[in-house]
Structure 1
C-alpha cells in the first residue's frame, strides 16, 4: 500500500508556483527575443542616409518612435 507524504494543498501550491515561474521565464525570453529584433531594425534604419530615410517618410530622430510605436503610445 502506498502512502502520500505531504499535504495535497502543498503539492498544488508547488505545481501552481512552477507553472507561474515557467510562464514568467517564457515571457522574459519572448521579450528578449523581440527586443533583439527591434534593435536590429533600429540599427538598420540608422545605417541609412537621411535621403533614404526621407524616402521612407522618416526622420532620423523618429526612428525609435517608429520601431517601438506599437509598444509605446508616443
Structure 2
C-alpha cells in the first residue's frame, strides 16, 4: 500500500485546500487499486531468497513490474 504524507506551512479548510485534498485522494486511490502496484507489493513482501529464486533483486522490482511501460 502506498502511504502519502503531506504537510503545509499553514493548512486550512478553505476551498483550495479541499480541492487539493480531493485530487490527492483521487490519485492515491488510483495508485493503490492499480494491479501493477499490487504486484509490486506482492514482490516486495517476498524475502530476498524468494526473489532470487525467481531471478529478481529487491532494487529491480519496480523495473520488472513496469518494464513494458517505462524503458528503464
User: For the superposition of Structure 1 and Structure 2, which TM-score range results when normalised by the shorter chain?
Assistant: 0.5 to 0.7
Q: Would you say 1:59 and 2:52 are equivalent positions?
A: no
**Superposed displacement of residue 52, structure 1:** 0.1
Question: Per-residue displacement from partner, 1:3-32 (whole Å, max 9, x unpaired)?
Answer: xxxxxxxxxxxxxxxxxxxxxxxxxxxxx5
Aligned residues: 42
Measured in 1, the distance between the counterparts of 2:38 and 2:70 equals 18
> What's the TM-score, normalizing by structure 1?
0.53
2:68 to 67, 70, 73: 70
What are the within-5 Å matches in structure 2 for residues 31-70 of structure 1?
32=30, 36-70=34-68
Which one has a larger percent helix, Structure 1 or Structure 2?
1
TM-score of the superposed pair, with normalisation by structure 2: 0.54
Compute the displacement of 1:66 (Å). 0.1
3-state SS of paired residue (2:34): helix
Q: Which runs of 4+ in 1 moved over 6 A?
A: none
